[in-house]
């Protein structure tokens, strides 16, 4: 089979359609009766929020490409054809989401005495209480707006819930208005818990939208409300900043953030009972065609349903709690630097406590022997204990440098706030590299020990985000290996300074060496297979889209290399194609934890090489981001990493989806004990 054939369109799945397939797998968790009920609610909400982001980013980009023209991708589909396929897929996906809500989730919650009461189910006492709530709590913060020549159509915030009201009659000033708008207040919860005095059970809720619907006529006294309909606009959320033209990236991004909520509309969700006249009126205003309109058979903006999770204290309806382990030689009062000096340490989150990193920074901030701390921050959170430790270190006289990536999508505002806090405390803040996002996860501590300076490093697959550390699976390496630490130091110098490409001895780095080395290592496995030697590749990542890496995997498969890929989300590689990819399997794991670790294994002729990395196998990670990939040099740790993050996922069946050559994902059944791989790891590691 020729190289040209390996580039043929049928061998590559469309990236956008693969992303929608991932959202369907998330939604399936909401439909799975083995998932605790309130966790099923969360999965439904997650599927909706991820679909929101899909429209904000991917669909918005495709609409721009369709307007201005672009070449087809590796799958052969241009922007216009892809948008057509997205419409067909999303129409069905939205229908499935609302079917899941109406036919699966609501009845199950009702059976568990957790009820969302529709207006038709309100008792007389409940109606009186809700009417009082409307008058005293809700109406005072509402600002209904009649639409007439003196009140033009207002700017509608991205993803805000609004009500389009059809009116008849004249107001007190004798003005006639056909239409009015009411925006649901963002300052109030979307779920109202009924008090015991009127509730039929301990967990009776009413949607805020239902209350507005019930009493909206009181906002327009003297006029007749003909219809009241929910709608929601999703807008393009890409920030367009020419980094080479601006003098202050933070200030430029702050300006763009103010306009993000009012950028071009890409989708409108409407209540299923909205009149055609109203749909036409709104779609004309937002310049949206029919293929951007989605009817919702229930509350618009289902992801606000997530508010019910913390309001219901029912442990039996949630995942069991667990305590992350603290490895024996890391338990206090251990000196972290002594522990790392004794051996390299592998952390596997959330099974291993993220508190280890917090403690390392705490000790570094208070240790007079520590001279400098350098750290990359991609997604961090403004109130993170990490930030507190860095600020403490700076105030105690340590030289602290933080590389804060301002362009982390949807975290720009938080990262700007973090940057300001750090700079006010005396931390040297660097905002990365022009045209390249700094996505590497690195921490470097320089300590004086006797007459010499010694470095300690932490390299990770995940962000230094305290909250997500308990929700994502990630791996990190603590080491004082001089070669690795020197490489990390060089990368920090490269990011903060201006200079030529550097040569690293152990680390692989994007955008310089990582892609080339991956191609080289895949090629070596192929050559060994052709020579009759055992050859194996196992790789775990979030997404696989980069065409040259996919072609290299196809060639390795043809050579006889056994390739097992664990790809949580988007995968453009088509497995199981005869004479092309029949030696490649692709699995996706969706479960309690978001699979986020990137781990790569190459059998390497009996001398295995195992890596952890911040990078997925995507174009952006290989060529447009600063990424690192570090080898696990300790053979015992490498074997542990392979066992826990790769082998466990290949041996287990429950919760695993197998990608077929048709592009469908098929669940491959349950294990003998019915537990999925994440639950089994929880049992083993905590």
| CA dihedral sign, ordered 603, 605, 610, 613 | negative
Q: Which of 546, 526, 506 is nearest to 633 (CA)?
A: 506
How far is the C-alpha of 408 from the C-alpha of 415, rounded, in Å? 8
- Collapse the DSSP code of 20 into the 3-class scheme (helix H, G, I; strand E, B; otherwise coil) and give the result: helix
- Do 350 and 593 touch, CB atoms closer than 8 A? yes
Neighbouring C-beta atoms of residue 577, cutoff 10 Å:
16
How far is the C-alpha of 612 from the C-alpha of 633, rounded, in Å? 11
Number of residues in the chain:
686
Q: Which of 311, 308, 135, 102 is nearest to 212 (CA)?
A: 135
SS (H, E, C) 556-605: HHHHCCEEEEEECCCECECCCCCCCCCCEEEEEECCCCEECCEEEEECHH
Q: CB-side exposure of 97: number of CA atoms within 13 Å?
A: 32
List, in sequence order, every residue forming a beta bridge with 565; answer none if it has no partner.
Answer: 539, 586
Neighbouring C-beta atoms of residue 323, cutoff 10 Å:
7
Burial state string for 412-428 with b = 16 or more CB within 10 A and e = fewer than 16: bebbbebbebbeebebe
Structure tokens at 576: 């199981």
Structure tokens at 135: 């008058």
Q: Is 439 a catalytic residue?
A: yes
Residues 431, 439, 458, 465: which is the catalytic one?
439
- Collapse the DSSP code of 243 into the 3-class scheme (helix H, G, I; strand E, B; otherwise coil) and give the result: coil
Structure tokens at 95: 């229908």
- Collapse the DSSP code of 123 into the 3-class scheme (helix H, G, I; strand E, B; otherwise coil) and give the result: coil
Hey, what long-range contacts does 405-410 have (CB within 8 A, 24 or more apart)?
Answer: 405/376, 405/377, 405/378, 405/431, 405/432, 405/437, 405/438, 405/439, 406/249, 406/250, 406/253, 406/431, 406/432, 407/239, 407/253, 407/432, 407/437, 408/378, 408/379, 408/437, 409/57, 409/237, 410/53, 410/237
Active-site amino acid positions: 439
């Amino acid at each position: 089979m020729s190289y040209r054939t390996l580039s043929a369109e049928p061998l590559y799945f469309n990236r956008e359609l693969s992303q929608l397939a991932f959202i369907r797998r998330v939604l399936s968790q909401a439909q799975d009766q083995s998932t605790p009920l309130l966790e099923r609610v969360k999965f439904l909400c997650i599927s909706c929020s991820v679909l929101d982001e899909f429209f904000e980013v991917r669909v918005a980009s495709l609409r721009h490409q369709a307007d201005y023209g672009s070449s087809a991708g590796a799958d052969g589909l241009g922007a216009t054809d892809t948008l057509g396929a997205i419409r067909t897929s999303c129409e069905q996906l939205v229908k499935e989401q609302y079917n899941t809500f109406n036919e699966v989730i609501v009845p199950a919650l009702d059976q568990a005495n957790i009820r969302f009461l529709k207006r038709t189910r309100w008792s007389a006492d409940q109606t009186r209480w809700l009417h009082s709530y409307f008058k005293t709590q809700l109406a005072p913060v509402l600002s209904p707006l009649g639409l007439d020549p003196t009140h033009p159509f207002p700017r509608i915030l991205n993803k805000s819930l609004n009500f389009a009201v059809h009116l008849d009659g004249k107001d007190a000033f004798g003005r006639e208005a056909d239409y009015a708008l009411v925006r649901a207040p963002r300052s109030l919860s979307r779920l109202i818990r009924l008090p015991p005095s009127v509730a039929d059970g301990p967990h009776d809720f009413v949607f805020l939208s239902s209350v507005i619907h019930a009493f909206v006529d009181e906002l327009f006294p003297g006029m007749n409300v003909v219809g009241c309909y929910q709608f929601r606009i999703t807008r393009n959320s890409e920030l367009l900043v020419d980094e080479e033209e601006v003098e202050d990236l933070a200030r430029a991004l702050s300006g763009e953030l103010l306009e993000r909520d009012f950028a071009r509309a890409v989708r409108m969700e409407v209540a299923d009972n909205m009149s055609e006249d109203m749909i036409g009126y709104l779609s004309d205003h937002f310049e949206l065609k029919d293929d951007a309109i989605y009817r919702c058979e229930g509350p618009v903006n289902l992801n606000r349903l997530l508010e019910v999770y913390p309001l219901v204290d029912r442990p039996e309806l949630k995942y069991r709690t667990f305590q992350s382990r603290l490895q024996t030689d890391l338990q206090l009062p251990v000196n972290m630097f002594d522990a790392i000096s004794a051996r390299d340490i592998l952390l596997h989150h959330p099974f291993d406590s993220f508190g280890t990193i917090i403690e390392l920074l705490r000790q570094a901030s208070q240790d007079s022997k520590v001279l400098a701390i350098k750290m990359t921050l991609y997604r961090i959170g403004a109130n993170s204990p990490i930030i507190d430790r860095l600020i403490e270190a700076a105030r105690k006289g340590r030289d602290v440098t933080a590389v804060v990536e301002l362009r982390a999508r949807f975290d720009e505002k938080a990262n700007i706030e973090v940057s300001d806090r750090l700079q006010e405390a005396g931390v040297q803040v660097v905002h990365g590299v022009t045209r390249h996002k700094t996505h590497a996860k690195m921490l470097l501590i320089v300590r004086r020990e006797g007459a010499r300076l010694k470095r300690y490093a932490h390299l990770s697959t995940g962000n230094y985000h305290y909250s997500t550390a308990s929700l994502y699976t990630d791996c990190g390496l603590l080491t004082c290996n001089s070669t690795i630490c020197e490489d990390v130091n060089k990368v920090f110098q490269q990011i903060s300074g201006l200079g030529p490409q550097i040569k690293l001895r152990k680390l692989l780095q994007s955008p310089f060496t990582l892609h080339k080395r991956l191609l080289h290592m895949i090629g070596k496995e192929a050559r060994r297979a052709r020579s009759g030697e055992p050859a194996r590749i196992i790789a775990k990542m979030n997404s696989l889209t980069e065409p040259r890496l996919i072609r290299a995997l196809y060639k390795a498969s043809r050579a006889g290399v056994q390739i097992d890929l664990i790809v949580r989300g988007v995968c453009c590689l088509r497995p199981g194609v005869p004479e092309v990819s029949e030696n490649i399997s692709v699995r996706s794991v969706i479960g309690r934890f978001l699979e986020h670790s990137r781990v790569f294994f190459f059998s390497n002729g009996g001398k295995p090489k195992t890596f952890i990395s911040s990078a997925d196998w995507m174009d952006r990670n290989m060529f447009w981001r600063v990424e690192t990939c570090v080898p696990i040099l300790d053979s015992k740790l490498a074997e542990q990493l392979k066992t826990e993050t790769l082998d466990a996922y290949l041996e287990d069946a429950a919760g695993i989806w197998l990608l077929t050559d048709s592009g469908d994902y098929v669940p491959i059944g349950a294990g003998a004990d019915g537990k999925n791989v994440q639950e089994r790891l929880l049992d083993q590691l905590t």
